[in-house]
Amino acid sequence: MKLNKLAAIISAGISCAYLTQCTSVHQMATFGTKTIDNEAALQDTKPPTNGVYTYPVTRIHQDSTDYFLSGEYGRSADHVRSEGEFGDSSAYPRPDDGVSRYFGEKIVDKFRWLENVDDMNKDYTQETDEDRDRNLIGSLLENDVKDGLFDNRTRKDLQTVKPKQSSEVNDWVNAQNEVTNQYFDANPIYEQVKNNINALMSYRYSYRKENKDGVGSLELYRHEDGYIRLELTDTDGNKRTLFNERELSEDGNTVLPWPDIYVSDKGSYVAYVTAPGNNDTDTRGRTDLHVIDIKTGEAAIEPIQNADNNSIIWLDDKSFLYIQGSQIKRHEVGSKKWVDPIEVTWGEIDGAGPTDMWYSDDETRRYLVIEAYKKAPTSFIKDTKTNKVYRIHSEKFFNDFFYHAPDYTHAPLASLVHFDDKTLDVYFISGEKNIKGDIFKMNLNNPKKREIVVAIPDEYDETLEAIYHPEAGGHFLIKYLKDGAHKLILTDTTGKIVKDLTPDIPGNADDLTSYVAEDDNKDGDKKAKDKEVADEDDQTPDESYVSFRFNAIIKPRTVYKYSPSKGEFIDVRRRDLIPFDENLYESKQILYTSKDGTKVPMNINYKKGIKLDGKNPTVLYGYGGFGATENLAFHKSKAAWLEHGGVWATAFIRGGSEYGHTWHKDGRLLNKMNVFDDFAAAADYLAQSGYADSNHLAISGASNGGLLVGASMVLHPEKFRVAIPAAGVLDMLRYNDNFHTQYWAGEYGLPYDSVAQYKLLKSYSPYHNVKAGVCYPSTLVMTSKRDDRVTPSHSYKFVAALQDKQVCANPTFLYAAEQFGHWANTYQEQKNDYSLFTSFALNEMNIKHVPDLTHRHDADFYKTDKWREEEAKEHAKQIKKLQQRIDKLNETKDK
């Protein structure tokens, strides 16, 4: 599915209207009694065509009002220190002449009118006409009726009713989408690529199975059609669907964003969390916690809004703990209390935001372990008997390193490794002595005494995660970071290396778990509550082991189980049975040299037997910002690219945290140009090594990675054949006027901070560096009309500038999705995105034929012999149970 077809008359009508406006020799902007010369209107434009494609005509005169600060996105919280007459933030909407002024320099912004985006959702506030007339705050929602059991007449969040906006921008976007649709209709490989990707992604995936005595088995799984279902198989073997994700809303856009279920102690109820959209801030972007009666399938509570999905703990068969914002609350099924009691307050955990929780012992439930985020991951332990909360991180370390540090400062604060609720010993990872992270030990009876038990070896870049395993004298399974890839090392309790358990491929590991058969792991460690564990039946009850999940760009998620006592892996099996044959591909991790001599890691994946002749269709991917470590996880879009004969390269450029805090600092603020230099050097390496010349290289990135792509293609257009920036930050001189972008200022800097910062932002801002007479790569700019993290106007303006200035036949298209926010919301939308991405890049590299990949192996092909034997035994056991029931029924009938 591409975008819905629009009537051709829309495009024609818009073009006519815009042509009238574009022919004006001089435009005047008025605001009240004040008249402003609109310099943006004096800029010349050429017909919107590159000789091959005709785009919707884009007007260039500026409106009289700066809608960016008065439209749906609201006024930015960090809009301070502006210069000139526009510095008074109390007067919005404000007059605008289409010109920005910085340190005596004027920047004419002739496409600024595209910032006047339409409302993302027409029923955003559900206000009545009376509400609009009164500009009422907090009115009862229209159409909400008290049903007798629950007073669900909830009030709107505190917001004023927004003025109606014109549909001019939306009409322009729709016309752009129509041109994009026409391109894909004519794309000779689009349909086959779409069918191939559909075959790759249309398989059954089980997220969780849980058995309850007297109730049956619950399974949460994604059906072949892409929608998640919760299915109950009762004790008689009858199956019943408790919910189908497709039916959670009329439009099918309400999803389980992090699929998981939480079953009450006796199996009477099951809880799960949904999100009706992927927006950050609008009401369609909130999460809702649901509880349904397993017996009836009906709702047992009114949905709890803005509940966190990461952890729900059932205390018995009727009450549970959940995270909401910065608090942990308790809810009881059937309670008519309007406000749930708070179990852990914001103040008890130093103002940190809880992210996960569990009891060290599910039977005694005395110690509640809380993982939280306070500029970095940290941990707390609450003694529910005394109500005392223990802080695990060093307050001095936090104050010295984090308190005045900018957002996204990267260092381990206090990541829990192990808590023994009998001795009260706590093991955790902290950077208080070495910023790369050591494993410490402390005791709750004397929290100030902290000692290093495992110091990070010099060869590794960071300690990411660890667990304690008590078998055979005790071991730690530690996950380290090395050149962007994960290393898994088993040590004794002194840190002496016992064995390197890392699979022989660069990748990512998660869900480190210790399983001790004799005591069922009641040792205070985080339980194996893996949010994607299908069931616990694959655990071997008579053996103890450590386990981890591992995946790579060419390796679907696989579970490894290792027995320290035997000194060997006792089981290795695919967790994800996606029909992708990992044995056909290779992956390697290399270091290349950037412009200033810095060594930068890069991961390269390709089909075995590749010819290094420079003709391989290649995607270079990156992010480079906010201290985010690039990951090597398996991803369906990358798998699809590889299956179509491509090479996928991921560059671990500066701005991330692959080498810790310094790597991030070297790619932010006045050091930002290092990011783009690193990316350009990665492209040079791929060309020099024979993977792809400039005619076979595409660049891709999203969000901050969209900025990376946009900047790279305008700074080095000759290096790339295709550019696909998604949800990108593309106007670096106006980004800070968007809603809630104050978090970005510490990363990018503001154009009015200093002359140096302004000049740097201007030098790489994609929108401001599109020049006439330059041949830019074929470009597909992807965004969403409802993206309220990076407003889609960034993409709109960039497309308008490229279409205005492009000198060669390489096309520029806009794909603006209707429903999702900063990323694809539903599984179907993901399929669509991957199909557009793959077919566009390949077609623009002059690849006009792709193989038919719709005939694939079934799931059984990817299972091990041991797995098949276990399934056969389980099947025989179920048949035996069924026969026993039949025999019992026959006996009853005979009597």
In a domain, 759, yes or no: yes
- Residue 542 backbone dihedrals phi, psi, to 5 degrees: -100, 10
Mean pLDDT to the nearest integer, 62-74? 48
- Residue 468 backbone dihedrals phi, psi, to 5 degrees: -105, 135
pLDDT category, 47, cuts 50, 70, 90?
A: very low
Range list of H helices, 733-864: 745-748, 755-764, 793-805, 827-844
Helix H or strand E encompassing 514: strand 508-515
Helix H or strand E encompassing 240: strand 239-244
How far is C-alpha 232 from the geometric centre of its chain's CA atoms?
30
Work out the burial of residue 166: count CB atoms within 10 Å of its CB; fewer than 13 is exposed, 13-18 middle, 19 or more buried.
Answer: exposed
Residue 29 has pLDDT above 50, yes or no: no
pLDDT category, 252, cuts 50, 70, 90?
A: confident
Amino acid at position 624, single letter? G
Worst-scoring range by mean pLDDT, 98-102, 117-121, 193-197? 117-121
Supply the pLDDT for residue 14.
30
Instruction: Provide the percentage of residues in the chain whose pLDDT is more than 90.
Output: 65
* Number of separate domains in the chain: 3
Residue 142 has pLDDT above 90, yes or no: no
CB 69 within 8 A of CB 94: yes
Catalytic residue from among 703, 712, 765, 839: 703
pTM equals 0.87
**Residue scoring higher pLDDT (58 or 541):** 58
Task: Out of 311, 344, 377, pick the residue that ends a domain.
Answer: 344
In a domain, 534, yes or no: no
Task: Out of 314, 344, 374, pick the residue that ends a domain.
Answer: 344
**Residue scoring higher pLDDT (614 or 362):** 614
675 in the same domain as 636: yes
773 in the same domain as 744: yes
Structure tokens at 809: 């036949």
Condensed to tens digits (0 to 9), the pLDDT of residues 335-354 reads 877 789 999 999 999 999 99
Helix axes 793-805, 168-186, angle to 10 degrees: 60
Supply the pLDDT for residue 117.
67
405 CB-near residues (< 8 Å, 6+ apart) = 375
Whichever domain contains 603, its CATH number is 3.40.50.1820
Cα(796)–Cα(817) distance, rounded to whole angstroms?
12
Q: CA 545, 548, 551, 556 torsion: positive or negative?
A: positive
In a domain, 44, yes or no: no
Supply the pLDDT for residue 87.
38
pLDDT category, 20, cuts 50, 70, 90?
A: very low
* Catalytic residue flag (residue 664): no
Mean pLDDT to the nearest integer, 711-731? 98
Condensed to tens digits (0 to 9), the pLDDT of residues 625-642 reads 999 999 999 999 999 999
In a domain, 720, yes or no: yes
Supply the pLDDT for residue 518.
63
**DSSP 8-state assignment for residue 718:** G
Query: What DSSP line would sit under 395-409, residue for residue?
Result: HHHIIIIITTSPTT-
The parent domain of residue 610 ranges over 589-844
Task: Out of 288, 316, 344, pick the residue that ends a domain.
Answer: 344
887 in the same domain as 763: no
314 in the same domain as 210: yes
821 in the same domain as 728: yes
Whole-number Cα distances in Å, 338 to 304, 331, 816: 11, 10, 41
Alpha carbon distance, N-terminus to C-terminus of the chain: 61
Residue 469 has pLDDT above 60, yes or no: yes
868 in the same domain as 840: no
Q: Report the 3 state secondary structure along 371-385.
A: EEECCCEEEEEEECC
CB 744 within 8 A of CB 800: no
In a domain, 742, yes or no: yes
Q: CA 355, 360, 365, 366 torsion: positive or negative?
A: negative
**Residue scoring higher pLDDT (37 or 394):** 394
Supply the pLDDT for residue 280.
63
Mean pLDDT to the nearest integer, 85-90? 38
Supply the pLDDT for residue 408.
79
Q: Report the 3 state secondary structure along 282-337.
A: CHHHCCEEEEEECCCCCECCCCEECEEEEEEEECCCCEEEEEECCEEEEEECCCCC
Supply the pLDDT for residue 372.
94
Supply the pLDDT for residue 892.
81
811 in the same domain as 677: yes
Whichever domain contains 312, its CATH number is 2.130.10.120
228 in the same domain as 278: yes
The mean pLDDT of the chain is 84
874 in the same domain as 729: no
How much of the chain is helix, strand and coil, in % rounded to 5?
Answer: 25, 30, 45
In a domain, 840, yes or no: yes
708 in the same domain as 750: yes
Supply the pLDDT for residue 43.
43
In a domain, 821, yes or no: yes
Mean pLDDT to the nearest integer, 664-684? 98
Catalytic residue from among 822, 833, 835, 839: 822
Supply the pLDDT for residue 497.
96
Worst-scoring range by mean pLDDT, 62-71, 152-161, 748-757, 788-797? 152-161
pLDDT category, 58, cuts 50, 70, 90?
A: confident
Catalytic residue from among 66, 525, 787, 788: 787
pLDDT category, 330, cuts 50, 70, 90?
A: very high
CB crowding 667-692: b at 16 or more within 10 Å, else e: bbbeebbbbbbbbbbbbbbbbeeebb
Whole-number Cα distances in Å, 829 to 309, 480, 553, 834: 22, 35, 21, 9
CB 227 within 8 A of CB 827: yes
* Catalytic residue flag (residue 740): no
Worst-scoring range by mean pLDDT, 244-253, 397-406, 501-510, 526-535? 526-535
Residue 410 has pLDDT above 50, yes or no: yes
Worst-scoring range by mean pLDDT, 347-351, 385-389, 447-451, 888-892? 888-892
* Catalytic residue flag (residue 565): no
884 in the same domain as 758: no
Mean pLDDT to the nearest integer, 1-8? 41
In a domain, 666, yes or no: yes
pLDDT category, 49, cuts 50, 70, 90?
A: low
Structure tokens at 597: 């001599």
Cα(55)–Cα(49) distance, rounded to whole angstroms?
6
Condensed to tens digits (0 to 9), the pLDDT of residues 832-861 reads 999 999 999 999 999 999 999 999 999 999
Top-ranked range on mean pLDDT: pick from 65-79, 531-545, 870-884: 870-884
Residue 374 has pLDDT above 80, yes or no: yes
Closest CA to 587 of 636, 630, 680, 650: 650
**Residue scoring higher pLDDT (216 or 526):** 216
882 in the same domain as 753: no
pLDDT category, 404, cuts 50, 70, 90?
A: confident
Residue 286 has pLDDT above 80, yes or no: no
